[in-house]
Amino acid sequence: MRFLNLTIPAAALVAAGAVLAQSAATTPATPTPPTTPASSPAVLGTPLSAAPAAPPVTLEQALRAARENPDVAWARYAVSAAQGDLQAADRAPLPTLSAKAGAIDLDNGLGPGNLWREKRIDKGVGLDWTVERGNKRGLRTEAAQQGLQATRLDLAEAQVQQQQAAAGAFYDLLAAQARLEQVAGLARSAGELAEAAQRRLRAGDISQQDALRTDIEARRAQSELRVAEAEVIRAQLALARLTGLPAALRVADAGPVTSVPAAAAAAIDTEQRPDLRAARSRVQGAQAALDSAMALRRNDVTVGASLDHQPGTSRRMVELRLQMPLGGMLGTYGYEGEIARARAQLEQAQAQLDKVQRTAAADSARLQADLREAAARSARFQDEIVPRARQVAGMAELAYSKGALSLTELIDARRTLRAVLLDDIAARSDFGRAAAVWQLRQAPINP
């Protein structure tokens, strides 16, 4: 299944939030030149550019790798086992070859001559074949075929679930990278402000209390930078676990945010979900198994023939045989146990189908609601909240540079902008994740 196609709007949905780092490109301006000595105690972190750049991984690459992870491999082995079950079911009973040596006279001896042609031994070779009645082979094969189809659909469902998990991990890492870039920019800005405050303190322009406050803010920003770096590492490990890709990876920016497509207004067709189709196949297989258990009451017949050779009597004698069990006639057991078990398994399969139907309907509604809410929230941040927060922060920077605003008010404005930008990153990430999961679930599956 191809998921990412950058030539259509739906694919851009999957990339929604992929430019989470876009908001990190602009940081609040400071009233002092951006010159911070390398020995400054306010700048404690390593510059982001100093870290070695890992090869970027695209969403399509992550989804492709998730289709081959151990959970999917386990489901694939189950398909191979079900194929073996089908081969075992679709066969007739094997014929039975028999040989005998009878009528051996122990009192008078075997007599002279060749062992095979002249000695007095009744020898024979026979062949017996069981004829199944009640369409047992067809019913047995039908149950195995439905089981094979169910395991194939289980494989498709496992691939969808692992790709959904990988898409979530991809956007978590993308958001963590954007947060790290944003926090690093804010830390640099806080460090520059603290360094400028130290110069102004030496010049007597501000109090020592204000200078200490700027130093505290710079150190706090460096602490947040360390936390953001740890979040990136955790997100890298989570994506690597799902995809098998190298742990020290970075994900690639996939394109701009777009609006929700019109197709999102319609609910997902739950009837095509692989888990629901697998549950239906198991119901049909359980019904075939019940019919097969009922067919046990029709006794099988074993027919056979043998060719005998008895010296002194005849060289060619034919024996014909017919055998069948007496169940239901002289016997008292009518396979009630097998039938009861098959009927209970059919009821179990039907109950599981009802459960999956309810789960699929609820999941479809949830995905649709998540996508719409995430799209609306991301749009609000991009169109309304972030621009206003930037405007307020810019006005605060200008007012502080002209002495019309206190340091406390400037720091509050910067904190507000930082919180808004990080919330914007989270909104974009949620939008991208919701779009990816929605599109993976609504894509047609042909196992």
User: Does 164 score more than 60 pLDDT?
Assistant: yes
Residue 187 has pLDDT above 70, yes or no: yes
Mean pLDDT of all residues in 276-287: 96
Mean pLDDT of 72-89: 95
Model pLDDT, residue 443:
82
State the amino acid at position 267 in one-letter form.
A
pLDDT-above-70 percentage for the chain: 79
DSSP code of 403?
A: T
Ranges of H-type helices in 244-335: 274-295
Domains of the chain: 9-92+132-297+334-442 (1.20.1600.10), 93-131+298-333 (2.20.200)
Q: What is the pTM of this model?
A: 0.75
Residue 344 pLDDT greater than 90, yes or no: yes
Contacting residues for 371 by C-beta, under 8 A, at least 6 apart: 260, 264, 434, 435, 438
Q: How far apart are CA 201 and CA 404, in angstroms?
A: 18
Rounded to an integer, what distance in angstroms lies between the CA atom of residue 193 and that of residue 366?
Answer: 46
- CA 32 to each of CA 19, 29, 132, 354, 367: distance values in angstroms, whole numbers, following the listed order: 30, 9, 94, 67, 48
Q: Residue 411 to residues 28, 80, 100, 205, 218: CA-CA distances in angstroms?
A: 11, 63, 103, 18, 11
Between 166-170, 255-259, 309-313, the lowest mean confidence (pLDDT) is in 255-259
> Mean pLDDT, the chain, as a whole number?
81
